[in-house]
Chains A and B, each alone.
Chain A
Amino acid sequence: MDPLQDNGPPGPATSVYVHVPFCRDRCTYCAFPTVADDPYAHEPLVDALLGEAARAPIAAPLRTLYLGGGTPGLLAPHLIERLVTGLRAHGPWAPEAEVTIEVNPANVTAETLRAWTGCGINRLSVGVQTFRNDALRELARRHDAEAARRALSLVADRWSGSWSADLLIGWRGQEVSDVRRDVEQLMRWEPPHVSIYGLTIEPRTALEARARRGHVVAAPESLHAEMDDTWSAVLHERGYERYEVSNFARAHHRSQHNQAYWANGSYLGLGPGAAGSVHPFRWRNLADPTEYVARIADGRPVREFAERVSPQARLLESLAIGLRTRDGLGTDELDRRFSPAWRTVVEDAAAPLLDQGILQLDDATLRLPPAELVRADRVVSEIAMMVES
């Protein structure tokens, strides 16, 4: 048997992630690289982001751009415009490129919506999390439920592009009935796309510190299954497709950017703390924005971590993210990228899962049956247990 190889993704990088690290408040669960907002730092950051982009020009037409954070919506419209226009100047763009910005409901106004459209943004990701004020306060979210409703109404009435709403599940005190109320309330505005993430206690977050002191900080995990049943039933009824374990979309509204990640393709990450991957490497930038800006200005490197990913590790990654999707992984693409040796690796590592039908491998795809999608992370950790990486 030939050894496992990594021939790389089918094409060059066509996705760019831009990290804007500023936040007015730090959410208690957030482990992203963020810093307290400093309006004077906005403009130098945008210049630095463009500076970093200039170091790695995009060859193929860009298909997705994602402004995440942090709170990119904090940037003044003219800075966002300068950023997006500047990035356009660095290379060709596909005609229908998806350009997303993550926004806090507090930043959504008729003016900002207009301005964002004006700079070429055609997709919004609105961080609603929940409509319960006590939970929003506990999670230290910037907005309250009323602000979320106002933002959603504005988006539903005036936004012509695609958009998504994020909900957070599993906060302290949440009941299954709260999940139903949150999801049903969200349906009033008929978002084309919904992301529902479980609250995880990440290291170096306020929640983790509280948990370490012995406080209850999350809903019991035993409730998650029933919560999932609840939201997935509501969304299914409303015509959403669960195309990834945490993501639901109406027809033609899947996130192109996320799908690029999930295919384990190449993408660039710009900004402090941003991660990128171009075959056969992965890297991450240093997280401190001041240092980042200074180094870009001086022409010094900003990557604090880079690795050549082994074919074994790359296969594990592909499984870890690909098995969370409804479509799973195409066997032709797996054969092409990793050589048919991937089959031995998977068959050895996942024999009991394949035997029990928890993992399915047929001529065209390797995937979880729809009913098993909710256990994707567990399946992956079982497989990871058994493969060398």
Chain B
Amino acid sequence: MNQAHIRNFCIIAHIDHGKSTLADRMLELTQTVEKRDSRDQQLDDMDLERERGITIKAKAASMDYLKDGIRYRLNLIDTPGHVDFNYEVERALQACEGAVLLVDAAQGVEAQTVHNTMLADQARLEIIPVINKIDLAAARVDDVSEQIENVLTIERERIVPASAKSGIGTKEILDRIVDEVPPPAGDPEAPLRALIYDAEFNDYRGVVMHLRIIDGALNAGDRIRLMAGDTRHEAVEIGIFRPGLEPRKTLGTGEVGYLIANIKTLSAVRIGDTVVLDKDRTSESLPGYRPARPMVFCGIYPVQNKDFDTLRNALTRLQLNDAAFTFTPESSEALGFGFRCGFLGLLHMEIVQERLERESRIDIVQTAPNVTYELVDTEGKTERIDSPAEVPDPTKIVEFREPVVKLDIVTPDEFVGPLMKLAIERRGRFLKQEYIGPGRLILGFRIPLSEIIFDFFDKMKSISRGYATMDYEFESFIADDLVKMRIMVNGDEVDALSTIAHRSHCQSRGRSILRVLRKEIPRHMFKVALQAAVGGTIVARENIAPVRKDVTSKCYGGDISRKRKLLEKQKEGKKRLKMVGNVEIPQKAFLAVLSATDD
């Protein structure tokens, strides 16, 4: 492939702004897929993504496009559409020279748009601005053009008006890609260096790596080395995405394609790693690689202890497809044996849980999520902890640090007051407020990650009637007055309900957790006392009144075995509840911390 005729680009857009639809139109126009074969949204192949209308995993497609008598190879590199996958987005951008920036004509510029455009700028991509859905009745092309000009500092004359749904503008976008996006640089004579910008697991082929050849060339059958992992493999098959796998003998400089190397687990491949030929001992790795690091954790337990191994197998299977997901065995007095699972962020956690439910038939209890913390002990040692259970005695802690993020909220200006209040209640520090167009502005905060992983997103959406959008980026670990709050049920500590909170929030959070528990825990024969404690101090309490009476049913004609069977059935049902002391706690109660909202 002639390097000068290659164009590598991605589409950056907020969720629902039409990225997948535009990609589908491009595939059709370039006849990469026949229109009649095309399911809507070719590029999202996970059900979950389809249901949620978002893209999680990056996918790619190589298209051939004829312009002015020259056949160009346009490589579309699809990027994940969510903040949790920031690192993957960055790596995907590194594989491109251009980006189509897609903005919804009715919705306008959103927090994610700003964020991703910034990333694209940092990666020095040529940006082709597009306003999509111009044929919507609610389209506000002028306003949105102004937003793009003001916030993203892109001249409005450059904007392509389009409607991916009806195909308006698709050809112009492709032409602009050819004309404006520079061909890949890279030295074809240099030793091979290829960027792994994504990887997926295929049941039959093992790991399929997505590559961008930066320098040199890769041939089928080459002995290769993954630099960060320092592992050696054979390039069993290489090829390009059409969007299915199409084998090739060679991938040259600037090309985008796939590599299959008999690798059986996804965790053996690291996104951002560099592929070189095994014989080249002096190659330098490409910049930007860092191991994925989970920031949000929760416990996942089987309801029945006998399902522990089944759960382990299910989690192992999930990890095959998702290297960013981690799990390690842990045990809880209340819940028995289970796993502490790590996720990139809250959406990532949701995705993994949904897949777990869908793909395995185990009843699970999931504890409320927490972020990862850093502790400095009296000997000056810094340690990471992923669970409230790991918090040592307070006298041994010199500093208790939590992850803090930079949060951007884009909103119509009428909601600024309540959104500001929400962020500040959650210990947010106000950084900036900027108008990005008529009646629309961006709010910046520095806020602890722990404060936005529970219900912040839902609150923000409800306050702004769905209009506000947010994005965040990890900044650093910062020390604060953090404590572990324990929850007791009839005097027994329920370790799975412990949380880490800011001291000033313990009382109100404790109260709301207990209120939820009171609703979720059924009445017992006896009074059930609920308490929240920090150290030796009780900060909140609630009681559950005992059952007063049962419906006394008739014993059917002396059919006592029927009554016994009923008791046995009840017993089976109750076995599925967790017992703490004498108190039965339903699974939902373990999420009390999640659904509890501060006063």
Contact A320 B564 (CB under 8 A): yes
Question: B70 within 8 Å of A by Cβ?
Answer: no
User: What are 9 of the A-B contact pairs (CB < 8 Å)?
Assistant: A17-B557, A68-B557, A221-B551, A246-B554, A261-B555, A273-B557, A282-B561, A317-B564, A381-B570
Q: Is the CB of B568 within 8 A of A375?
A: no
Provide the residues of chain A in CB contact with B548, threshold 8 Å. 225, 374-375
Whole-angstrom distance from the CB of B67 to the nearest CB of chain A? 61
Pick from B525, B552, B554, B556 the residue with the most CB of A within 10 Å.
B552
Whether B560 contacts A376 by the Cβ 8 Å rule is: no
Residues A320 and B561 in contact, CB atoms below 8 Å apart? no
In the complex, the chain B residue whose C-beta lies closest to that of A68 is B557
A374 vs chain B, min Cβ distance (A): 4
Chain A nearest Cβ from B113, distance in angstroms: 43
Cα–Cα distance between A123 and B537 once the two chains are bound (Å): 65
Measuring CB to CB, which residues of chain A are less than 8 angstroms from any residue of chain B? 17, 19, 31-32, 68, 170, 197-200, 221, 224-225, 228, 245-246, 261, 264, 267, 269, 273-277, 282, 284, 305, 307, 309, 313, 316-317, 320-321, 324, 352-353, 356, 358, 374-382, 384-385, 389
Q: Tell me which of B550, B570, B574 has the highest count of chain A C-beta atoms within 10 A of its own C-beta.
A: B550
Q: Is B165 an interface residue (CB 8 A)?
A: no
Contacts A17-B558, A19-B557, A385-B574; is A197 near B552 (CB within 8 Å)? yes
Q: How far is the CB of A97 from chain B (nearest CB, A)?
A: 17
> Given the complex of chains A and B, what is the CA–CA distance between A261 and B564 in angstroms?
14
Whether the Cβ atoms of B551 and A352 lie closer than 8 Å is: no
A53–B416 Cα gap in the complex (Å)? 85
B571 at interface, CB cutoff 8 A: yes
**B562 contacts partner chain A, Cβ-Cβ < 8 Å:** yes
B563 touches A321 (CB 8 A): yes
Is the Cβ of B568 less than 8 Å from the Cβ of A384?
yes
What residue of chain A has the Cβ atom nearest to residue B582's Cβ? A352
Question: B564 and A316: CB pair below 8 A?
Answer: yes
Task: Check A316 against B561 for contact (C-beta < 8 Å).
Answer: no
CB distance from A30 to the nearest CB of B (A): 10
Query: Please, which residues of chain B bring their CB within 8 A of the CB of A68?
Result: 557
CB-based contact B570/A269 at 8 Å: no
A31 and B556 in contact, given A224-B551, A320-B567, A374-B549 (Cβ under 8 angstroms): yes
CB distance from A238 to the nearest CB of B (A): 20
Chain B residues contacting A381 (CB-CB under 8 Å) are: 567, 570-571
Instruction: Count residues of B near A (Cβ-Cβ below 8 Å).
Output: 26
B553 contacts the other chain (Cβ, under 8 Å)?
Answer: yes
Known contacts being A316-B567, A320-B567, A389-B564, is A32 close to B557, with CB within 8 Å?
Answer: yes
A356 — which chain B residues lie within 8 A by C-beta?
525-526
Known contacts being A374-B549, A375-B550, A385-B574, is A269 close to B558, with CB within 8 Å?
A: yes
| Assembled-state Cα–Cα distance A82/B548 (Å) | 47
CB of A79, distance to nearest CB on chain B (Å): 20
Bound: A356/B551 CA distance, A: 22
Residue numbers of B with Cβ under 8 A of A are 525-526, 547-564, 567-568, 570-571, 574, 582
Q: What residue in chain B is nearest A307 (Cβ atoms)?
A: B561
Question: Which of B547, B553, B563 is A317 in contact with, Cβ under 8 Å?
Answer: B563
What CA separation (Å) do A221 and B548 show in the bound complex? 10
Q: Write the nearest CB–CB distance from B129 to chain A, whole angstroms.
A: 51
Chain A residue at minimal CB-CB distance from B553: A200
Nearest B-chain residue to A275, judged by Cβ:
B559
A32 — which chain B residues lie within 8 A by C-beta?
A: 556-557
Closest 10 CB pairs between A and B? A198-B551, A225-B548, A275-B559, A384-B567, A225-B549, A200-B553, A377-B550, A374-B549, A197-B554, A282-B561
B549 in contact with A228 (CB, 8 Å): yes
B560 near A200: Cβ-Cβ < 8 Å: no
CA distance A170 to B553 in the complex (A): 11
> Are the CB atoms of B552 and A378 closer together than 8 Å?
no
Which of A264, A282, A320, A378 is B525 in contact with, Cβ under 8 Å? A378
- Take A32-B557, A68-B557, A352-B526 as given contacts and tell me if A224 and B563 are in contact as well, using a CB distance cutoff of 8 Å: no
User: With A313-B564, A381-B570, A385-B571 in contact, is A284–B552 under 8 Å at CB?
Assistant: no
Which of chain A's residues has its CB closest to B561's CB?
A282
Smallest CB gap from A199: residue in B: B551
The answer to whether B550 touches A378, judged by C-beta atoms less than 8 angstroms apart, is: yes
- A7 CA to B416 CA, complexed, in Å: 79
Contacts of A375 in B (CB 8 A): 525, 547-550
Residues A261 and B558 in contact, CB atoms below 8 Å apart: yes
**In the complex, residue of chain B having the shortest beta-carbon distance to the beta carbon of A260:** B558
**What residues on A are CB-neighbors of B553 within 8 Å?**
197-198, 200, 377
Find the B residue at minimum CB distance from A195.
B554
**CB contact under 8 A between A275 and B561, given known A224-B549, A378-B550:** yes
Taken together as a complex, chains A and B put the C-alpha atoms of A17 and B559 apart, in Å, by 10
Contacts of A274 in B (CB 8 A): 557
Chain A residue nearest to B570 (CB atoms) is A381
A-chain residues with CB within 8 Å of residue B554 when the two chains form the complex: 197, 200, 246
**Cβ-closest chain B residue relative to A324:** B552
Please judge, given known A-B contacts A200-B553, A275-B557, A353-B525, whether A378 and B547 are in contact too, CB under 8 Å: yes
Does the CB pair A382–B557 fall under 8 Å?
A: no
A384 to B574, CA, bound (A): 11
List the B side residues contacting A221 at CB < 8 Å. 551
A375 to B550, CA, bound (A): 6
**Which chain B residue lies CB-closest to A196?**
B552
Tell me whether B552 and A246 are in contact (CB under 8 A): yes
Q: Contact partner of A309 among B561, B570, B571, CB < 8 A?
A: B561
- Docked pose: A245 CA to B553 CA in angstroms: 10
Q: Once the chains bind, are A200 and B549 in contact (CB under 8 Å)?
A: no
- Given contacts A261-B555, A275-B561, A381-B567, whether A376 and B550 have CB atoms under 8 Å apart is yes
